[in-house]
């Protein structure tokens, strides 16, 4: 009976030790798993290029799941050459707003550009109000009102964007500004109240070259950018 008790106790102790080891291992693994995807959070920084000591050094993940060696400017360096003026300007944006990713910004700006161009042609003030700063909206609204007063109608087809490049970026106080050069194709024709064509061409695709500047209040939790300035390059 004593032998049975000893063996039983031995296996019980062994089971407890194994359980504790498993719990510790699982605990560490859970602590280092990546958090659920959040579309508004900063994307994971890209892995740095391999160094001669890569095989000798093991990079330990941080608790948030990113590498200790990851650069906060990885997305900027992948977008434009390090050391260039634009790279330094975009790094300043990242310092002020760590969630900023230039590639994602350009994708969003392309969508905003199409929405704004189409909304202006359609006289859709509600859409414009959500995408434009107050000053720019007032200018667009005045142009739409003038068109309406004359009884003019714009028929427009947005063909697409050929190119959209960031050309400048800066932080002004609590505001981040990013300027893009956008080359787009558009079919647009304006008719008077009698139906006569007075501007544009209903059959031809025109190339439009614009400089658009978007801004965001970096103190705000609102991730959206608004158009604050437009300039035509002919």
Look at residue 189 and tell me whether its pLDDT is greater than 50.
Answer: yes
> Which residues on neighbouring strands pair with residue 207, listed in sequence order?
185
d(CA 222, CA 132) in angstroms, rounded, equals: 14
Query: Do 109 and 212 form a contact (C-beta atoms < 8 A)?
Result: yes
Give the residue among 169, 154, 168, 140 at the shortest CA–CA distance from 201: 154
DSSP conformation class of 164: E
For 43, which DSSP code? P
Look at residue 32 and tell me whether its pLDDT is greater than 90.
Answer: no
**CATH 2.60.40.650, domain 95-232, yes or no:** no
CA distances from 157 to 69, 116, 122, 160 (A): 48, 13, 11, 9
Q: What is the residue extent of each domain of the chain?
A: 1-41+51-70, 95-232
What are the tens digits of pLDDT across the range 101-125? Answer: 999 999 999 999 999 999 999 999 9
Tokens 């400017």 belong to residue:
73
Mean predicted confidence (pLDDT) in 152-168: 96
- Beta partners for residue 229, in sequence order: 213
The pLDDT of residue 219 is above 50: yes
Cα gap 100→93, rounded to integer Å: 7
Residue 70: predicted pLDDT: 76
Instruction: With cut-offs at 50, 70 and 90, classify the pLDDT of residue 170.
Output: very high
Q: For Cα atoms 187, 136, 176, give the angle at the middle one, nearest 5 degrees.
A: 110
Does this model's pTM top 0.75? My answer is: no
Over 90: is that where the pLDDT of 162 sits?
yes
Cβ burial 61-94 (10 Å sphere, 16+ → b, else e): eeeeeebeebbebbbbbebbeeeeebbebbbbbb
Q: Which residue has the higher pLDDT, 91 or 19?
A: 91
- Mean per-residue pLDDT of the chain: 80
Give the pairing of strands 226-232 and 197-200.
unpaired
- What average pLDDT score do residues 194-207 get? 94
Looking at the DSSP bridge assignments, the partners of residue 231 are 211
- Rounded Cα gap, residues 97 and 89, in angstroms: 12
Contact 47, 67 (CB under 8 A): yes
Residue 196 burial by CB count (10 A; 0-12/13-18/19+): exposed, middle or buried? Answer: exposed
pLDDT confidence of residue 120: 96
Backbone CA torsion sign across 68, 73, 78, 83: negative
């Amino acid at each position: 009976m004593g032998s049975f008790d000893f063996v039983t106790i031995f296996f019980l102790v062994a089971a407890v030790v194994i359980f504790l080891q498993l719990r510790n291992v699982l605990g560490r693994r859970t602590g280092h798993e990546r958090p659920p995807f959040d579309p508004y959070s900063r994307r994971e920084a890209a892995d740095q290029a391999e160094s001669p000591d890569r095989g000798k050094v093991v990079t330990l993940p941080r608790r948030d799941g990113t590498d200790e060696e990851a650069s906060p400017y990885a997305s900027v360096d992948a977008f434009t050459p390090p050391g260039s003026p634009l790279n330094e300007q975009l790094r300043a944006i990242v310092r002020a707003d760590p969630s900023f990713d230039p590639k994602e910004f350009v994708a969003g700006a392309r969508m905003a550009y199409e929405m704004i161009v189409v909304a202006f042609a359609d006289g859709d003030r509600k859409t414009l109000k959500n995408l434009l700063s107050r000053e720019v909206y007032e200018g667009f609204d005045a142009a739409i009102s003038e068109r309406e007063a004359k009884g003019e109608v714009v028929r427009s087809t947005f063909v697409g964007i050929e190119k959209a490049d960031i050309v400048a970026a800066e932080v002004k106080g609590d505001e981040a500004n990013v300027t893009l050069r956008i080359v787009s194709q558009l079919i647009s024709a304006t008719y008077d109240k009698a139906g006569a064509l007075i501007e544009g061409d209903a059959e031809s695709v025109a190339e439009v070259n614009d400089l658009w500047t978007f801004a965001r209040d970096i103190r705000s939790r609102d991730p959206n950018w608004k158009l604050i300035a437009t300039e035509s390059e002919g």
